[in-house]
A and B are shown apart, each in its own frame.
Chain A
Amino acid sequence: MNQKMKETILNPILKGNPITVLVLGICSSLAVTVEMKGALVMALSVTLVTGLSSLICSLLRKTIPNRVRIIIQLVVVALMVILVDQLLKSFEGTYPIDKQLSVYIGLIITNCIVMGRIEAFALGNKPIPSLLDGLANGVGYGLILIIVAFFRELLGSGTLFGIPVLAKLGYVNNGLMILPPMALILIGCIIWVQRSIQKDLQEK
């Protein structure tokens, strides 16, 4: 693997993380991080959608009429999201999670990360790097989602993936962790930690 490929994959996860650096996709990261299970399914769905729609848009990039490119991208993204949603609804194991995530699966269509990566990367690059860029951005998004969900579920409900962890130790659940503002505070903390480590992200 050459240097450029490596950069494409690692950049969205660390230095150019869609949530902590680009600050995209905040809405859903507040809403679906109450539980690990939901966060994990959301992370996988977004990864799949960003990856595949970047791939398709990159394949079509030379044929898309410039004036309607946003609409065409939107159609491709919507197709992917609806397919993911339909699949989640079809399996017994994922149906309750799909119900729980309700509107947020559909709202992946409006997740700025997806359109942002297509506009910024897929339209100007070959299919394989575009696929990797999309997947890596999904992973970068999912990583933050899972970190936030880990703390919120552990401290808010005393469980992880629904299995009691802290509850056995006599921990009293912190109701604030369940509420959306706490996700924002946690993301703030993650941004803080990241910027203290990667000094070049700090504004002068």
Chain B
Amino acid sequence: MSKKAPNYISTTNACKLCTPLGASIAFKGIEGAVPYLHGSQGCATYMRRYIISHYNEPIDIASSSLSEKHAVYGGGANLKLGLINVTKKYHPRIIGIATTCLTETIGDDVQMFLRQFDQEVEGEKPIMVHVGTPSYSGSHMEGFHDAVTSVVDTLAGVNEDNSKKKKVNILPGFVSPADIRYLREIAEDYSLDATILPDISDTLDGQAAKTYEKIQPGGTPITEIKSMGSRLASIEFGHTMGERSGGTILAEKFGVPNKRILHPMGISATDKFLDHLSMVSGQKMPEKHKGERGRLVDSYVDGHKYIYGKKAIVYGEEDLVVGLTGLLAEIGVMPVLCASGGKSGLLAEKITEATDGNLPEQPQIHEGMDFYDISELAEALAPDLLVGHSKGYGLARKLNIPLIRVGFPIHDRMGGQRILHLGYRGTQQLFDQIVNACIAEKQGDSPIGYSYM
């Protein structure tokens, strides 16, 4: 099982991002929202640049642009000024306010500032949602989940409507715009009306528009968020976000049954997801999905010999690593190291659950890792491929092995926002990619130059 992880004091080439970045992305998935960082100017700008390089979309994140005097006397005045300016320029429906390490440390009471703002400023104001995201605590995934939790906690309520369709909440975590589009399609195929929170499918993968949109259209509609307490059920992807989450709040406050499941990656995990949809909707698996599943199984058989026993290192956000490891285990690829910069304390347990006895040997599983640690372990593990985001490219290059790009960020290829990870269809794409990467390696290494494989 898990060997001892390297234990360095310094962090080199981190395998995680900071909390406010995750919160900003989550806020981008809400209709009419502008993310706002209460801190100094640099945080917003750095994160904008980082996020733009993945999604290739305008990412406007406002900032209170605090200076030295605010750090000494408090940032309240600038927070309020910033909120007024954002309201004037963007006319947002909602402003998602995340703190930074600066404002958390100087002890700014954002809730109090917001109450004051509400009293001091007249006229119609956007909804304000606040989340505490000190970047010295947790990673971008805590920021993401905490922002979702705050949105639910602040906005969700009960709102009966007369539509005949069964309605559910899906809290998919940090997945791609393509994943969210596909989830919506799946839900529709089960005749379910899904509120997906957050929904970055349009806001972070927009169309070429006729006029420039100050806030990209799309995102989870606020009216729907307000009705999340009236839904039949909530489905939440991932297990490492801690006890308090959007789904658990909906269960506690409104009695909406919450089901936490593994990210549906691979056949087994997707089966469980679709079984659950069947149960909620009362419908059997639609023919279309039976077809997708059947073709996927067929391709598993066609491709299995090219990949059996190949050793993989999987890294990235914990829930994604869990999902990917489950997928690799069921196609005969051997994960030798599963690594994350996150530190939920649950990674090993959830990987065991996801691999479900499919692995002849257990991989090393380590939390709190950076790329220096991963690289150091990789030397002895001699992997055949890496599976993770584009920051592993340097390691893949050093080891001269293929990198299967998944997750966030993808900074060195087009289309990171369109990578499909979930369901039978996402698994199909990843499977083809993995098999082809292995075939390409063999073909490239061969002196013969096989033209049939």
Does A pair with B?
Answer: no
- Which residues does A use to contact B, with CB under 8 Å? none
